[in-house]
Chains A and B, each alone.
Chain A
């Protein structure tokens, strides 16, 4: 999806025009708390997993909402980088741990932020909740259906806050699109959604060995490559489905107000035949009730389309591009239908490039991104709002935007999508 500058302008103006009657875009996303005012300082957080994603969350942690008490990672170099991030943002370096169990035992924490590899999410999250800690866990929720259900059950049983890091829920553009366009039915009947995440680069990463005697076997990895490139191996990862599609499917669930019922998939390792096990080209169709479909594609051989979600309705088309821009087109409207409005959207202020490691290949595509200006938001603001929202939920009982039930729904769809690609078959998602 590459729109001409004129189309971008038209779509952006349409989007802003229909939001003129809704609350200010920047004000959306504030969840009402169930109690307050309540005594209490910033929520005392420990971070588990300080790779790229963990560091983004660390950097976006508002000191008013959370106090970073300790950091944990099995790779000392990641901890060093995390400390640098803290110091750069005017905060002090904090205590380090290699073992998360030791950290939650020794530190007086209220919650943890988990940004470790997918296959570890469940064990860590469940143990933390059983230890009385609230959990903000990176997406995807768990590596398989049973793991996800275990997490949701633990949250219910322990009555701890469990939020899964689908930050789009906190993105003001998505909030505005839902409240001002999707919910009022401006798109008409939406039968089709296109979810695209195209990159032209190798997902495999190279990293420096922390020390000559560093032993990845201590942490259950047969090699340092497996530790660094866990996303490429099935025992740790669900590939594009977990790292990319889960975000988009989560939003589609929200916008459709439904859960996917089945997935059809294809794809494989077509370009980077380097021993990886998860596809570098992924295609999946998610079937929703009422004859609605969402088609997800992710390729690692061309970044022309970059990434976006598009919802095609009988009355209009909504495109959310790169988490920073939104376009709205009326079906059959003349090209000059758009009018300028005075609705302001917060300007993009942060570097969009410092994103998660799942998305390093996006950086090159981002360089050719569309022009800035009205209609754009700071993508990193969503992470900031996400961590703050989690802390509000802990302290005041504010409603979570992506709690266990929502996260479970999209995770199960993506796990089914991964299975469908493996089996080259249609996989039904049991309710």
Chain B
């Protein structure tokens, strides 16, 4: 059975990678946008992860809440914003794709662990009702797919890098082995 990816399947994977990349890139960019004004014409507050950390929930909540008050939180904020942008750029451009995927997985894992939905009911700040599985986890799974299929070999600047160029596009059998 020929399990080589056809064009549509390859395109779908690249589209998925690009969308995830844009999500990361804009999330990071918006966090660096300060001083700035919102669309309703009001000045925006400077990004701080303190609020997010304080509202942590789940088994690791205490650990993350403790981070909200550390003196180096501004550095952490810069690190988060910078990491999001780098990962986003990598995914969108298909440059160091595997590394970008790993970074994305690490970030999403942190976001997930800080607020694992264990209660199964609507909580303030959430858009829906979640039990264990939320959008962070689903996005992480999508990133895992992009990672497994090595989409940098299908499209992206990785193709210009010699090491990647010589590698054939994997078959589904290889990717899912």
Contacts and interface: CB of A to CB of B under 8 A. Distances in A.
Interface residues of B, number: 12
B33 A35 contact: no
A218 interface: no
B35 A392 contact: no
Nearest to B41: A392
Contacts of A392: 37, 41-42
Interface string A27-46: 00011110111111110000
Contacts of B39: 32-33, 35-37, 396
B109 interface: no
B36 A40 contact: yes
A32 B36 contact: no
B36 A64 contact: no
A33 B36 CA distance: 13
Interface of A is mostly: loop
B32 to A, nearest CB: 9
Nearest to A64: B43
B40 interface: yes
Interface string A394-431: 01101000000000000000000000000000000000
A40 B41 contact: no
A254 interface: no
A299 B64 CA distance: 67
A31 B36 contact: no
A178 interface: no
A33 B30 contact: no
A37 B38 contact: yes
B133 interface: no
A65 interface: yes
A33 B40 contact: yes
Contacts of B33: 37, 39
B44 interface: yes
A36 B33 CA distance: 11
A230 B70 CA distance: 59
Contacts of B36: 37-40
Contacts of A40: 35-37
A41 B41 contact: no
Nearest to B35: A41
Contacts of A65: 42-43
A32 B37 contact: no
A39 to B, nearest CB: 5
A393 interface: yes
Nearest to B32: A39
Given A37-B30, A37-B33, A39-B33, A31 B41 contact: yes
Interface in B18-45: 30, 33, 35-44
A253 B43 CA distance: 31
Contacts of B42: 64-65, 388, 392
A181 to B, nearest CB: 25
A215 B30 CA distance: 54
Nearest to B34: A39
Contacts of B30: 37
A41 B45 CA distance: 11
A37 B44 contact: yes
B48 to A, nearest CB: 16
Contacts of B38: 33, 36-37, 396
Contacts of B44: 37
A36 B35 contact: no
A226 to B, nearest CB: 40
Contacts of A396: 37-39, 41
A265 B42 CA distance: 43
Interface string B38-63: 11111110000000000000000000
A37 B41 contact: no
A35 B37 CA distance: 9
Closest 9 CB pairs of A and B: A392-B41, A36-B39, A398-B41, A41-B35, A33-B41, A64-B43, A396-B41, A395-B37, A39-B36
Given A37-B36, A396-B39, A398-B40, 17 more contacts: A30-B41, A31-B40, A32-B41, A33-B38, A33-B40, A36-B37, A36-B41, A37-B37, A37-B38, A37-B39, A38-B37, A39-B36, A41-B35, A42-B35, A64-B42, A392-B37, A396-B41
Interface of A: 30-33, 35-42, 64-65, 388-389, 392-393, 395-396, 398
16 contacts: A31-B41, A32-B41, A33-B37, A33-B39, A35-B39, A36-B37, A37-B44, A38-B37, A39-B33, A39-B35, A40-B36, A40-B37, A64-B43, A392-B37, A396-B38, A396-B41
